[in-house]
Amino acid sequence: MISSIRKAGFTVCLFFLLTPSFAIDPVWKFDAELEKAYQLVLNLQMDQAYAKIAQLKGKSNELHRLYVQSLCETVDVLVTEDEEKFDFIEAKFKERLKFLETNKATVETLFLRAELNLQRGFNFLNLGQELNAVWAIREAYNLTQQCLALDPNFIPIKKTSGVIQVMVGSVPDKFHWFMSLLGMKGSVVKGQKQLSELGASKSSLNIEANILYYTIKGFINQQVDESTKGFQQLLVKNPGNRLLLFLTVNMLMKNSESDEALKLIHEIDSQSGLAIYYMEYLKGEILLQRGEYAASIQAYQKFIATYKSQNFKKDCYYKIGLCYWLQKKTPEAKLSFEKAKKTGREIAEPDVYAAAQLKEGSFPNPKILKVRFYTDGGYYKEAKELLLTIAPVDLSGLKDQTEYYYRKARLAHKTNDLAAAKLFYQQAIDMAGQNQWYFAPNSYLQLGYIAQAQGNNTLAKFDFEKALSYKKHEYKASVDSKAKSALEQLAI
């Protein structure tokens, strides 16, 4: 995860040197006090977690404590995207790994080495350091294989291995040759099975496994409704948990339940703990979907001012421009678009999409744009009413005409009018032709999901393969990942 998906300890080496060997714990059940620290980490209460972990020096199983400490640092950096923090903890990663490498290779030391390398890989990915990320993840992959060979029933390694299996198994086709060259093979199905096994165990890591399991369900398998319900059930068992609230917000939005997501955002805002500035970005998205453009601009501006990373900032300025455009404030829209061109980087898919639209240099069709936002947010009544007002004269070019049918398809699909959805998806595909817009590949992806749900696996396979066949579009990485995962499920 899913997740996607989001430390103190200056003398870890000394702790190990002065601490006697421990009997191997095949399950990894933390003691009561370390469990409290672990829950603080998952609740994103980092200051309290750091203090608690420091208090437990020499009092808890040191390998267990090291895991919680490293997880605390990693979650901190993933949530804040603070590059200065990462530089600070990177030295600690290296220190811990160097010491672990000098010790006997047991299932526990191999697991910790694998997990720490995977955490480093996630941090590198988040900061756009892709080459460093690949090497860290490759090292984690090799270590998980060694650990599983030593003891395939060692429960904790199923978390690390499960995540890597999903990552490698869903990697876009353009990177497949590289993964093969590095000797890495993955399977989303196998990864989910490993996480499910850990999630059903008595290990303290079972909550992480369940979080990752539902993240994969929603973001890779596109089983969004099931994922949303899974997160809501986890929240019932862990009420007020800020990490679960954060992930549930993301999944509710993906499931076009933006009003419910906004309620949880307000709940997060009322709690203490690590500041989640990204929530301002999500708040801006929901307010844009609702047509509350001035409030949306304020949320985006607050995000830009507080978020330390450059990710999503190009998209923010682009969305601010759209808010102005939809208010018929053309000069302000142009100014925001110019800021967007000069701001941020093109790593996150929203930024890639924003950059592609900005290169076109034309304003989007306002009616179609509103239909898109209404549909994304679950405001289906407003979307249907607005679609009825769109006449042929409102569609000035082929792209607008294609997107018109694509938006009709998405709305019909979301409202379970599958016959209409299939018709409109096909019309969008036919009209797009060879143009490298995302409307056609995503239409094939959605047609594949419909065919799969209706038991027509032959047609589903055709549609998913067609989705993969488009060589260049703004959402290629995510469409390819989802299509590959779906094809693997069909093969079971």
Question: Using one digit for the tens of pLDDT, what is the confidence trace for 145-169?
Answer: 999 999 999 999 999 999 999 988 8
The single-letter DSSP state of residue 182 is T
Residue 20 has pLDDT above 70, yes or no: no
- What whole-number distance in Å separates Cα of residue 139 and Cα of residue 31? 30
The pLDDT assigned to 181 comes to 62
The yes/no answer on whether domain 277-364 falls in CATH 1.25.40.10 is yes
Q: What's the average model confidence in pLDDT over 114-140?
A: 88
Q: What's the average model confidence in pLDDT over 348-355?
A: 91
Percentage of residues of the chain with pLDDT beyond 70: 93
Architecture of domain 12-255: Alpha Horseshoe (1.25)
Which helix or strand (DSSP H or E) is residue 285 part of?
Answer: helix 278-290
Residue 402 has pLDDT above 50, yes or no: yes
Highest mean pLDDT among 18-27, 245-254, 354-363: 245-254
pTM of the model as a whole: 0.85
**What pLDDT digit, counting tens, does each position of 360-393 carry?**
888 999 999 999 999 999 999 999 999 999 998 9
- What whole-number distance in Å separates Cα of residue 53 and Cα of residue 50? 5
* pLDDT class of 19 with cuts at 50, 70, 90: very low
Residues 6+ away with beta carbon under 8 Å from 468: 173, 441, 479, 480, 483, 484
* pLDDT class of 10 with cuts at 50, 70, 90: very low
The pLDDT assigned to 178 comes to 61
Which range (100-114, 170-184, 223-237, 298-312) has the least confidence?
170-184
Q: How many CB atoms lie within 10 A of CB 174?
A: 12
The pLDDT assigned to 174 comes to 57
Residue 1 has pLDDT above 80, yes or no: no
Q: Is the distance from CB of 196 to CB of 213 less than 8 angstroms?
A: yes
The pLDDT assigned to 231 comes to 95
Residue 268 has pLDDT above 50, yes or no: yes
Residue 180 has pLDDT above 80, yes or no: no
**What pLDDT digit, counting tens, does each position of 405-454 carry?**
999 999 999 999 999 999 999 999 999 998 989 999 999 999 999 999 99
- CA 294, distance to chain mean position in Å, is 28
Structure tokens at 275: 């500041």
**CATH 1.25.40.10 domain extents, the chain:** 12-255, 277-364, 379-492
One-letter amino acid for residue 282 of the chain: L
Residue 173 has pLDDT above 80, yes or no: no
Q: Answer positive or negative: Cα dihedral of 144, 150, 156, 158.
A: positive
Q: What's the average model confidence in pLDDT over 187-210?
A: 94
Produce one character per residue of 346-380: b if its CB has 16 or more CB atoms within 10 Å, e if not.
bbbbbbbbbbbbbeeeeebbebbbbbbbbbbbbbe
Which helix or strand (DSSP H or E) is residue 207 part of?
Answer: helix 206-219
The pLDDT assigned to 172 comes to 64
Architecture of domain 379-492: Alpha Horseshoe (1.25)
Residue 4 has pLDDT above 80, yes or no: no
Residues 6+ away with beta carbon under 8 Å from 317: 300, 304, 336, 337, 339, 340, 343, 344, 354
Q: What is the mean pLDDT of the chain?
A: 89
The pLDDT assigned to 138 comes to 92
The pLDDT assigned to 54 comes to 94
Produce one character per residue of 105-129: b if its CB has 16 or more CB atoms within 10 Å, e if not.
ebbbbbbbbbbbbbbbbbbbbbbbb
- What whole-number distance in Å separates Cα of residue 3 and Cα of residue 215? 6
Query: Higher model confidence: residue 201 or residue 175?
Result: 201
Q: Answer positive or negative: Cα dihedral of 159, 161, 163, 166.
A: negative
* pLDDT class of 12 with cuts at 50, 70, 90: very low
The pLDDT assigned to 18 comes to 33
